[in-house]
């Protein structure tokens, strides 16, 4: 093997790559937040006794979960452009990611909601809690706490999946790196740098979510017992 590795492009393109990294984090954070809210809503419709709500929610979840993100992004972004909807590319990307992750969130949250015992909700009503109080404090909070590890794994996967949006022209980490690659022709080196950055990023993001979990759900920290 007479190949000399050359990482000298890093000096010149580091600011660009850092910008891409920031974009990846922004994209992930936005779609995680919106995907969680939307997915929880879909999960509620999914467990509803009214078939008018539960069946469309089930179709939505199954259809999104059984098709690739890339096709969903193409369909949405190129599709909207073809009927003359002038959407900023970034907005399109966030919507595509949100739709995608909301379906996975809905499936996870459904498991959480179904794990809440009916007696708990009845007891809360008996105590005179308002509907909103029951919803947020008796159902949503414990349900989220129970499925939090699954949610974290899903959102780390989402962060990695944002790289796919480079295919529709988003300048996140992967898109920027692809541009650096086409300027410098250091193909393999660029991908090695990308690999290191993404692995580091996934550790940081997972760590941040775990820290957030400790702050939002103090039960384990205070009492030493999980739900």
Partner 1 sequence: MTSGQLLFLLKGFEGTLVLSVLTFVFGGSLGFVVSLMKVSDRWWVRTVASTYISGLQGLPLLVLMGLAFYGPNIWGITLKPLVAAVLALMFYAAAYFAEIWQGCIKSVPKSQWEAAECLGMSRVQRMRLVILPQAVKISLPPTVGFMVQIVKNTSIASLIVGYAELAYNSKILNNSTFQPFLYFGLAALLYFVICYPLSVLSKKMESRLIQR
- Given the structure tokens 């890339």, which residue do they identify? 70
Chain positions contacting partner 1, by CB under 8 A: 1, 3, 62-63, 65-72, 74-75, 78-79, 81-82, 160-161, 163-164, 166-167, 174, 187-188, 190-192, 194-195, 198-199, 201-203
For the CB of residue 216, give the shortest distance to partner 1 in the complex, in Å: 24
**Closer of 64 and 94 to partner 1 (Cβ):** 64
List of long-range contacts for 189-197, beta carbons under 8 Å, 24+ apart: 189/5, 189/6, 189/7, 189/9, 190/9, 193/7, 193/10, 193/17, 197/17, 197/21, 197/173
What's CA 195's distance to the chain center, in Å?
A: 20
For the CB of residue 187, give the shortest distance to partner 1 in the complex, in Å: 4
**Closer of 130 and 187 to partner 1 (Cβ):** 187
For the CB of residue 159, give the shortest distance to partner 1 in the complex, in Å: 9
**Closer of 65 and 137 to partner 1 (Cβ):** 65
CA–CA distance, 112 with 46 (Å, rounded to integer): 12
**Closer of 136 and 185 to partner 1 (Cβ):** 185
């Amino acid at each position: 093997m007479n190949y000399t590795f050359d990482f000298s492009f890093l000096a010149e393109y580091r600011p660009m790559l850092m910008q891409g990294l920031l974009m990846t984090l922004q994209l992930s954070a936005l779609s995680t937040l919106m995907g969680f809210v939307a997915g929880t809503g879909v999960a509620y419709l999914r467990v509803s006794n009214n078939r008018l709500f539960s069946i469309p929610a089930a179709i939505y979840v199954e259809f999104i979960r059984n098709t690739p993100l890339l096709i969903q992004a193409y369909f949405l972004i190129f599709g909207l452009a073809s009927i003359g909807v002038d959407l900023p590319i970034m907005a399109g990307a966030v919507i595509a990611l949100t739709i995608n992750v909301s379906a996975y969130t809905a499936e996870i949250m459904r498991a959480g909601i179904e794990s809440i015992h009916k007696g708990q909700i009845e007891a809360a009503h008996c105590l005179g809690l308002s509907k909103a109080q029951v919803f947020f404090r008796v159902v949503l909070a414990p349900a989220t706490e129970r499925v939090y590890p699954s949610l974290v794994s899903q959102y780390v996967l989402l962060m990695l999946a944002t790289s796919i949006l480079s295919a529709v022209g988003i300048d996140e980490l992967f898109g920027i790196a692809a541009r650096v690659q086409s300027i410098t022709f250091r193909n393999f080196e660029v991908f090695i740098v990308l690999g290191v950055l993404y692995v580091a990023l996934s550790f940081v993001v997972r760590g941040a979510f775990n820290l957030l979990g400790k702050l939002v759900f103090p039960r384990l920290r205070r009492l030493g017992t999980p739900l």
